[in-house]
Amino acid sequence: MDQDTKLQQAKILLVNLGLPPAQANDRSAWVLLALANIKPEDHWHQAQAPLLPTVNIMQFIRENYGMDYKPNSRETIRRQTLHQFEQARIVDRNRDDPSRATNSKDNNYSLNQPIIDIMKEYPNGEWSAKIKEYKESIHNLQELYRRELDLHKIPVRLPDGTEIKLSPGAHNQLHADIVHEFCPRFIGGDGGIVLYIGDTASSRDEGGKLMVLDVERLNALGVPPMSHEKLPDVVVYDEKREWLFLIEAVTSHGPISPKRWHELEDALVNCKVGRVYVTAFPDKAEFRKNASDLAWETEVWIASNPDHMIHFNGDRFLGPH
């Protein structure tokens, strides 16, 4: 059987599974074939469910179907096909480790068992009946999957008692440590007012809470509107001392370097309160890797030694400069 026939069969299958036209196109059909490890000469009953990162999916398509997606197409495949497959419960993400961060380089995708069962009957067996069963159970499958994901989210209780959940991952765990451990120790008895928390692994199109963002209070302090990428990871206001803590969480890169410090100072030129710049690390090993990049007149906090601070300054301890 030639590759064009396989492509058309995959598109028919996607349409019958209920995917909209944008996800029943050639790209999505090739992705489906890769996920099932179905080559042009294979029969559908040979479908498998390997754990495949996006780059491996692209490699399979290139080697077996001659479509050479460029490296910058990876995000398109993830956002325009795999994300919709995940929503429709065609695939699981990180079946081997549901707690893996959404933005991890080790993310992988694999077909669900009901889809494999359908493929084993396709195109000459009872596949239509299997699709009917799949559609009748889709709501339960989605609910079970949501509950599984929620189990691995990181709970964060803000100083005012509000509870939020961040996506799993080391970076967001450090965000939680900042709120739970740093704030009560170094931002007064109440832990201050959290004005912003970024969730690096979550996104609006995944139905997640992208961030905590108190625009009204930030504006009142003279902090201009800034994009998610420009703000430090956690921003907390100490109302009593009138200090604004700008905290960068570092698990692989991105401390408050001299360049970053100047960028933030320029952006916050009209800020009406004192600014305290803090780089937070999960442990000493991560601190050592980044120590040479840290700016003077900033502070360092290490989550594994939460009672201590390192002060990169000469004339005073913790405070705005």
Instruction: Return d(Cα 86, Cα 92) in angstroms, integer.
Output: 6
Query: Model-level pTM?
Result: 0.64
Last residue of a domain, one of 95, 126, 148: 148
Instruction: Return d(Cα 151, Cα 279) in angstroms, integer.
Output: 29
Of 205 and 258, which is predicted with more confidence? 258
Q: Which of the residue ranges 140-149, 179-188, 231-240, 277-286 would you say has the lowest mean pLDDT? A: 140-149
Domain containing residue 241: 154-312
Statement to judge: residues 7 and 73 lie in one domain: yes
Average pLDDT value over all residues in the chain: 88
Backbone angles phi, psi at 309, to 5 degrees: -130, 155
- Element at 280 (helix H, strand E): strand 274-281
pLDDT digits (tens, 9 = 90+) for 42-59: 999 999 999 999 999 999
Let me know if residue 242 belongs to a domain. yes
- Element at 297 (helix H, strand E): none
Let me know if residue 320 belongs to a domain. no
Instruction: Return d(Cα 112, Cα 109) in angstroms, integer.
Output: 10
pLDDT digits (tens, 9 = 90+) for 90-145: 999 999 988 787 777 889 999 999 999 999 999 999 999 999 998 888 877 667 66
Question: Rounded to an integer, what is the distance from CA 34 to the centroid of its chain?
Answer: 24
pLDDT of residue 238: 95
DSSP designation for 179: I
pLDDT of residue 204: 38
β-strands 298-302, 274-281: how paired? Answer: parallel
Statement to judge: residues 214 and 302 lie in one domain: yes
How many folded domains does the chain comprise? 2
242 token code pair: 């009138």
Instruction: Return d(Cα 202, Cα 206) in angstroms, integer.
Output: 7
Q: To the nearest whole percent, how much of the chain has pLDDT over 70?
A: 91
